[in-house]
Amino acid sequence: MQTNQIFLLFCGILLLLGLVAFFLGRAKAARVRGAGISMYAQPDQYAWFTVLSTAGPALMVGAIGAFVMLLLGAEIPTFYLLSGSLVVAAVGLAVGVMQVRPEFHARQAIEHVIRLLLAGAALISIFTTFGILFSIIFEALRFFQKESLWEFITGTTWSPGASFLEAAGRAEEGSGGGQFGSIPLFAGTMMITLIAMLVAIPIGLMSSIYMSEFAPHRVRGIAKPMLEILAGIPTVVYGFFAAITVAPIIVDVAGFFGLDAAYNNAVAPGMVMGIMIIPFISSLSDDVINSVPDSLRQGALALGMTNSETIKHVVLPAALPGIISASLLAVSRALGETMIVVMAAGMRPNLTANPLEDMTTVTVSIVAALTGDQEFESSATLSAFALGLALFVVTLTLNIVSVVMIRRFREKYRINDL
Amino acid sequence: MSHSFDEISAQLKRRHRKSARLKWMSMASLGIALLFLVVFFADMLNKGLPAFQQAYVQVEVDYNEDAETMGRAALDPEIASLVSRSFERLIPGMIRDDADLLGTTETRWVLTNSQVDQYLKGHRNELSDDEKAAIDERVEDGQVDMKFNTTFFSQGDSKMAERAGIMAAAVGTIMTMLVTLAVSFPIGVMTAIYLEEFAPDNRFTQAIEININNLAAIPSILFGLLGLAVFINFFGVPRSSPLVGGLTLALMTLPVIIISTRAALRSVPDSIRQGAFAVGCSRWQVVRDHVLPLALPGIMTGSIIGLAQAMGETAPLIIVGMVAFIPDVSASFTEAATVLPAQVFTWAGEPERAFVEKTAGGILVLLAVLIFMNATAVMLRKKFERRW
Amino acid sequence: MNSQVAEREMTSMTSQRTGQPVTRNEQVGHDLSVRVRDLSLWYGEHQALHNVNIDIYQKNVTALIGPSGCGKSTFLRCLNRMNDLIRNVRIQGRVEMDGRDVNEPKMDEVALRRRVGMVFQKPNPFPKSIFENVAYAPRMHDLVSRKADQDELVERSLRDAGLWEEVKDKLHQPGTSLSGGQQQRLCIARAIAVQPDVILMDEPTSALDPISTATIEDLMDKLKKQFTIVTVTHNMQQAARVADYTAFFHLGEIIEYNDTKTMFSNPHTKKAEDYITGRFG
């Protein structure tokens, strides 16, 4: 509370100084101008420049101080830090007002600062990526210091359960530490992704073929936004739908054929995930199909091909690279999808080829490892980061491959356009 | 050598039949996708609409001395098992607050418990036959009735289904979205302006561009890992708070806003920029006074869509702990909170049948908000769409 | 008999509108291939063709000339109903082939296009091998059943298109790997492989270099022994070189239709003369 008050006070004073700077700067500039001396910039620009020279360095000092405290653990009392930066602000104000001279390019100075600010903002996206990469790698390394990388890659048993007993100093109660073989998790992920793709790719692709090649203009105008609604539904809602509505239907249908299905089978989340991805595939394929030059269609039609023959033999083969790359993007989507599987798939690592059984996925295991009150340092918790790293690498690779493919596809038709 | 039309047409019959198949199949695919949409909404409405109604029962409340310590004593024992325990718990406090109440009786409508509610809605319940008979009798007399469920919209979470509401989650969502918007909008727009209007075409710029596209495709759960490792463990932002949730979602929304803002800036024709440069504007003045105002509708549209996306996101928020049990509405950025989709997730995990309905009800509210936001974005785009 | 009546009608109608006598070639021995009567076409509200009447003769080259936007390409596309692909197009009048109106509801446009082939302004080979580009359509039309027949047809078509010598060693390379002029000849080979009656050419040389253009002009001269060719061209010298008949289009009307020699030496209408002598267009 104390800190909060100091902080508010600091903000107030800084704001006040900024205002003072603005009016002082403008007044001085107006005076100079009033004396008939021509200046490089407008009075307002001088005013803004003084504001910048007041607040900029002060905020910078504050921010650097805060970082030093966080990074080096140095204890700088907040009060001193903030009053220090206020002093800097006052100095900045004085320097700024002094700079209000006819020969000073206030506009260029402001322009320069703005450009720096904008570039700084652009850097944040880079920081985010590296933040993700480093935070995950760092924690994953800590995991691999405790557990073997080889076992992680090749092991077929995933039971982190026992390891947190170990971390709690009760190793003897468990069966001698957890086991971290990630193959069952990836197998489960692949199974559910496969089911999703079996639903999404045919339906999405065929829908886009209908919309781009057959549908009357009005139908297309209605159907396209309706499909987009599917993409806008939150994944948690799909998860609920998969668990409550679809899974029991799957169990009933399987029962009808005399098969035994678990309620958290892989088919329900897979199917629902596929439905979620339909608009993704259809809108990307739509783009791709539309970018196949019309001259190819006309060439085939002019030879006496029917519409469908033209599509099957000319348009689709030409669009194939684009469609494949859309599918790769969709796969990467499905691999990283979390809520549907958390809610509808199982929690039990299960290496099986039967989609009617329950099985778990990488993302489910990440969530399971990080919820609940476990020691952060335990292998069970850190395993989430190792899985996250694997997920990151796989999805990033898929994205890059598909981006390169689609770029090649576009270039091909631009060149062929003569 | 050449064939007549009739000969060719006869040959073509088979090909036409075969060709029609593709058309029908593709049409059927679209039909299946749209059918799913219909089934989905019908299912959600069917499951969720009852949540907006709740059973109430008319009871005689006898504010006697026993009730001062144990609320249940104020109720007719026959009916006490039907009334929500949340009401029983309120009675001692009511007597304490208003001493005149002691010794009086009062007839009032109170919440039933969720079992009664589920029974009246025709769902599975754990009532005994005697209890069911008692309810049926009271329904006949008009002493048990379904009323609009104000509790659902005014209360936080509760372990008692009849008492659980979305208010705390709604406030949490607003707080989280405020943080998300406050962080991602300025940074996103500034990045886009830099890349579109200022940046030289060099490797650094290209790196940022590639990076933004990759960022847009990273699974959302990994942003949760980032939030956990960086914001919570490193910077010490309080776990489960709207602040950490908002920051995490902001990083996720950033690429959406950047990409749409760039598209909006690019759609402003160069002639406008050249015209402004020609009258002596500096680059920043051109952007501020001429380009940004024209691009604003596009920027708004993209931001609303990005925000709607963030609003439906759950996975990264689970990782940063925003699935807490929050019974009371709290408007603080640093205290534990939950958001609508996380509330939906929590309720979906409750075993009690009455929570299925709450979950679906929460989903309906969430969907309504998202559809409203997206519709607004579409309208904005339609209204300000300009062809140069 | 009927056709003579129709021809008289046509002549009188055209002359009424233009106020100029319209002379046509009266040469005998040329059989009618396509007969067009009162053809009008609208893109939405805009009328692009006004009562076009023309007779196109078999095994001749007919050139359509005129300033850009005059409707000559639109007219060409009426002959194989490629305009069906554009939305909001309305067509009135008759385009007769074998005494059948190609726009009648019973007419199968696929069958029509099988008999009326087309070569486009920009070469548009399919993204398949050279061999497949040629063999694809005949195979779909059941023109060849055995592998040997297919090979023979591909060779013959490529020879007729004057491309065989250049590509016989690389039949399985993609069609898009050829040069622009070669691609265009591949498209011609593709069109003649289905053995149509009429080949429509929509400015077939406008995207090509002069040498490729000359090759294709020679080719047209050879192909007219087998096929009826209708070509749109911007280039009047080309029309003069390759065409037996020339029609001059202006603002969606045929101003003059004549044998090429007359058209270029002694045009009957003032507008055609102005255009041919380069005073407008």
CATH of the domain at C58: 3.40.50.300
| pLDDT, tens digit (0-9, with 9 covering 90-100), for A359-371 | 999 999 999 888 8
Q: Do C111 and B15 touch (CB under 8 A)?
A: no
Q: What burial class does residue A69 get, using C-beta atoms within 10 Å of its C-beta: 0-12 exposed, 13-18 middle, 19+ buried? A: middle
Chain C residues in contact with A299 by the CB 8 A cut-off are 120, 124-126, 187, 190
Residue C141 in contact with partner chain B when CB distance is under 8 A: yes
How many CA atoms within 13 Å lie on the side-chain side of A371?
18
CA distance B167 to chain A (A): 19
* Residue of C107, C112, C142 lying closest to B11 (CB–CB): C142
Residue A116 CA to residue B323 CA, distance in Å, equals: 39
How many CA atoms within 13 Å lie on the side-chain side of B15?
21
Q: Is C8 a domain residue?
A: yes
Q: Do C113 and A298 touch (CB under 8 A)?
A: no
B241: β partners: none
Query: What's residue A45's pLDDT?
Result: 79
pLDDT at residue A171 tops 60: no
pLDDT at residue A163 tops 70: no
Please give the ipTM for the structure prediction: 0.90
CA distance B128 to chain A (A): 26
* Residue of B2, B11, B16 lying closest to C115 (CB–CB): B2
pLDDT grade for A131, boundaries at 50, 70 and 90: confident
Chain A residues in contact with B345 by the CB 8 A cut-off are 236, 239, 339, 342-343
Q: Do B191 and A118 touch (CB under 8 A)?
A: yes
A179-416: which CATH architecture? Answer: Orthogonal Bundle (1.10)
B contact chains, 3+ CB pairs < 8 A: A, C
Residue A154 near residue A127 (C-beta atoms within 8 A): no
Q: Is C117 a domain residue?
A: yes
Distances from the Cα of A189 to the Cα of A233, A272, A277, C261, angstroms: 22, 14, 16, 76
Distances from the Cα of C30 to the Cα of A128, B3, C3, C25, angstroms: 77, 20, 14, 10
Share in percent of chain B as helix, strand, coil (round to 5) = 70, 5, 20
Residues from A contacting C (CB-CB < 8 Å) are: 217, 293, 295-306, 309, 313-314, 317-318, 416-418
**Alpha helix positions (H), A213-266:** 217-232, 235-241, 247-256
Query: What's residue A414's pLDDT?
Result: 55
pLDDT at residue C22 tops 50: no
pLDDT at residue C25 tops 50: no
pLDDT at residue C281 tops 50: yes
| pLDDT, tens digit (0-9, with 9 covering 90-100), for B67-90 | 888 878 888 887 888 888 888 888
Domain count along chain C: 1
Q: Do B5 and C195 touch (CB under 8 A)?
A: no
Q: What is the pLDDT along chain B (388 residues), one digit of tens a residue?
A: 467 888 888 888 889 998 899 999 999 999 999 999 999 999 999 999 998 988 898 888 888 888 888 878 888 887 888 888 888 888 888 888 888 888 888 888 888 888 888 888 888 888 888 888 888 888 888 888 888 988 899 888 888 888 889 999 999 999 999 999 999 999 999 999 999 988 888 888 888 888 888 888 899 999 999 999 888 888 888 888 999 999 999 999 999 999 999 999 998 888 989 998 888 888 888 898 889 999 998 999 999 999 999 999 999 999 998 888 888 887 788 888 999 999 999 999 888 888 999 999 999 999 999 999 999 998 888 888 766 5
Share of chain A above pLDDT 90, in %: 38
Q: Provide mean pLDDT across the span A91-110.
A: 77
* Residue of C114, C117, C126 lying closest to A314 (CB–CB): C126
Q: Do A125 and B223 touch (CB under 8 A)?
A: no
Strand, helix or coil for residue B388: coil
Question: How distant is the alpha carbon of residue A236 from its chain centre?
Answer: 17
Question: Searching chain C, which residue's CA lies closest to the CA of residue B6?
Answer: C111
Between 3.90.1150.10, 2.60.40.10, 1.10.3720.10, 3.40.50.880, what CATH number should domain B167-384 receive? Answer: 1.10.3720.10
| pLDDT, tens digit (0-9, with 9 covering 90-100), for C42-72 | 998 999 999 999 999 999 999 999 998 889 9
Could you tell me which residues come within 8 angstroms of residue A411 by beta carbon, excluding any fewer than 6 positions away?
none
Cα torsion through A71, A75, A79, A85, rounded to 10: -50
| pLDDT, tens digit (0-9, with 9 covering 90-100), for A297-318 | 999 999 999 999 999 999 999 9
Encoding tokens for residue A418?
């003569």
Q: Provide mean pLDDT across the span A253-267.
A: 90
Q: Do B222 and A110 touch (CB under 8 A)?
A: no
| pLDDT, tens digit (0-9, with 9 covering 90-100), for A142-154 | 999 888 888 888 8
Question: Could you state, in order of their start, the residue ranges of all structural domains in chain B?
Answer: 53-148, 167-384
Residue A306 CA to residue C24 CA, distance in Å, equals: 38
Question: Searching chain A, which residue's CA lies closest to the CA of residue C116?
Answer: A302
Could you tell me which residues come within 8 angstroms of residue B173 by beta carbon, excluding any fewer than 6 positions away?
B311, B339, B340
A contact chains, 3+ CB pairs < 8 A: B, C
Could you tell me which residues come within 8 angstroms of residue A241 by beta carbon, excluding any fewer than 6 positions away?
A272, B40, B43, B44
Query: What's residue B360's pLDDT?
Result: 94
Residue C31 in contact with partner chain B when CB distance is under 8 A: no
Q: Do B26 and A206 touch (CB under 8 A)?
A: yes
Q: Is C104 a domain residue?
A: no
Residue C200 CA to residue C64 CA, distance in Å, equals: 11
* Residue of B186, B211, B217 lying closest to A395 (CB–CB): B217
Q: Do A206 and B29 touch (CB under 8 A)?
A: yes
Which structural domain range is residue C136 located in?
A: 2-99+109-276
| pLDDT, tens digit (0-9, with 9 covering 90-100), for C105-127 | 888 889 999 999 999 999 999 98
Chain C residues in contact with A296 by the CB 8 A cut-off are 124, 126-127
Encoding tokens for residue B257?
């806003």
Distances from the Cα of C40 to the Cα of C2, C75, C85, C93, C118, angstroms: 22, 9, 17, 6, 21
- Chain A segment 273-292 residues within 8 A of B by beta carbon are 275, 278-279, 282
Query: What's residue B116's pLDDT?
Result: 86
